[in-house]
Amino acid sequence: MDTPYKSCEKYFDTPEAIGLDGIDLEKYVIASYIIKRPKGMNVNYLSRFAAIEQSTGTWVRVPAETQEVRKHHVARVLGVYELPTYEYVLPKDLKERIYFVQIGFPIINFKGDGIPMLLTSVIGNIAITHGLKLVDLSFPKAWLEDFKGPKFGIDGLRKLLNIPERPLLNNMIKPCTGHTCDVGADLLYQAAVGGCDVVKDDELIGNPSFNPLEDRLSAYMEALDRADSEKGEKTLYTINVTSKFPDLFENADKMIEMGANALMINYLTSGFEALRQLAEDPSIKVPILGHMDFAGAYFGGEWTGMTSMLTLAKFPRICGADSVVLPAPYGKAEILDERYEQNLKTLRYPLQHIAPTLPMPSGGITQGMVEKTVKEAGNDILIGSGGGIHSHPDGPLDGARAFRQAIDAVMQGIPVKDHAKQHKELGRALGVWGTGKTQLIE
């Protein structure tokens, strides 16, 4: 009896299986993986097994998996590349070998079924394979055409807020949860009147009894109107509608009816398609902010799961998030500079008909980090700060003012430290936190 890997050799790469004219890559989603396996394992066989396991076959040939079925529905190994590429002999002390593998999955197998069946196909059963990580997906037009992407995106948000050039400023209301509606409304007012363009619920507050959605929206929007009239600028409040189904969608509809000017969803705990349903609903005509909590469960493993680029950028963008919270390497978040840069590019680079999504660097960012953040991420960002505003020694109003002063300095080409000498609020912030990485409370 054949082993599962060895049995793949019989039919997978034959001209009859592939078709004499080869394959049309415009009919395939191309998945890229990094695979680490023991020295003695042939990854050519493993790759073929993975392709078959995730499309037409299983560990043994079955009669109904005919030549015709394989021709149209089997996934194809497009390339297996070893890193480094040994040609003659293997080092005697080598224990493991690392490969870059690309597999094409026929979109006919899952077109129209969205993200659930895509992920089931490209990283379903093989997700339990030790030493295999999905690093990227390339989509043909025929598959991506089903997705509408952001309604607003970067350009739409800038137009809505009448901010053509400078970086935008966000505040997360702190404490994260446990506060009453009145307390939250006052905190929102101070952050907004101080200069925040967006104020968001923390991801940890949904629709609790001590601060229910309907009461929260009424009080917060009243506070927002007051703040906007005083500062002469528009502010968005992204209320968190995350909940179980169908309450999530009922929450969103109710908030829109009551006058919400933006929504937020924890898209990973709710699901990519929940975000997509909100974004593609024609009755929801306000921006949607996607929060990335639970993301580490997807990309935290070095050799398992899928990359942060897919989790934090490519999937939420095609599903319609107008802005996405990103962990930034400047504050409390743990992420490599390279991954952060990759995520920024993925949210903003050209992607067929999908509009760019506004990145929101976040996680312990303070006023002293604005210069570095803008230098590395550019102006098309929504700078996220929670504690850096609410823990300002003179209160959240001055905390927000200090951020705007730092942003103004960067836009004028003035070093933030120099600007702080003439601006009390910014000077106080730098006196507390400086310009370095956030020191976490022990």
> For the chain, which residues make up each domain, given as ranges?
4-144, 153-433
Do 153-433 and 4-144 fall under one CATH topology? no
Each residue's pLDDT tens digit, 27-84: 999 999 999 999 988 999 999 999 999 999 888 888 999 989 998 999 999 999 999 9
- pLDDT score at 265: 98
Residue of 361, 420, 325 lying closest to 167 (CA atoms) = 361
User: Is 291 among the residues known to form the active site?
Assistant: yes
pLDDT confidence bin for 18, thresholds 50/70/90:
low
State the number of CA atoms in the 13 A half-sphere of 52 facing the CB.
Answer: 27
> What's the Rg (C-alpha) of the chain?
25
More confident call, 18 vs 175 = 175
Question: What's the chain's average pLDDT?
Answer: 93
When pLDDT is averaged across residues 379-386 and rounded to a whole number, the result is 97
Looking at residue 94, what is its pLDDT?
Answer: 94
CA 290 to mean position of chain CA atoms: 8
Q: Reply yes or no on whether 174 is catalytic.
A: yes
CATH 3.30.70.20 holds for 4-144: no
pTM score, whole prediction: 0.94
Encode pLDDT of 391-425 as tens digits. Answer: 999 999 999 999 999 999 999 999 999 999 999 99
Looking at residue 1, its pLDDT comes to 36
Fold of 153-433: TIM Barrel (3.20.20)
pLDDT tens digit sequence for 238-249: 999 999 999 999
11, pLDDT greater than 50: no
Confidence at residue 440, expressed as pLDDT on a 0 to 100 scale:
54
Q: Which of 291, 390, 419, 423 is catalytic?
A: 291
What are the tens digits of pLDDT across the range 112-152? Answer: 999 999 999 999 999 998 899 999 999 999 999 999 999 99
pLDDT at 435: 87
pLDDT, residue 21, reads 57
Q: Are strands 288-291 and 168-172 parallel, antiparallel or unpaired?
A: unpaired
Tokens of 6: 């060895």
Given this model, what pLDDT does residue 441 score? 47
* Annotated catalytic residue, options 151, 174, 390, 392: 174
- pLDDT band of residue 16 (cuts 50, 70, 90) is very low
pLDDT digits (tens, 9 = 90+) for 187-236: 999 999 999 999 999 999 999 999 999 999 999 999 999 999 999 999 99
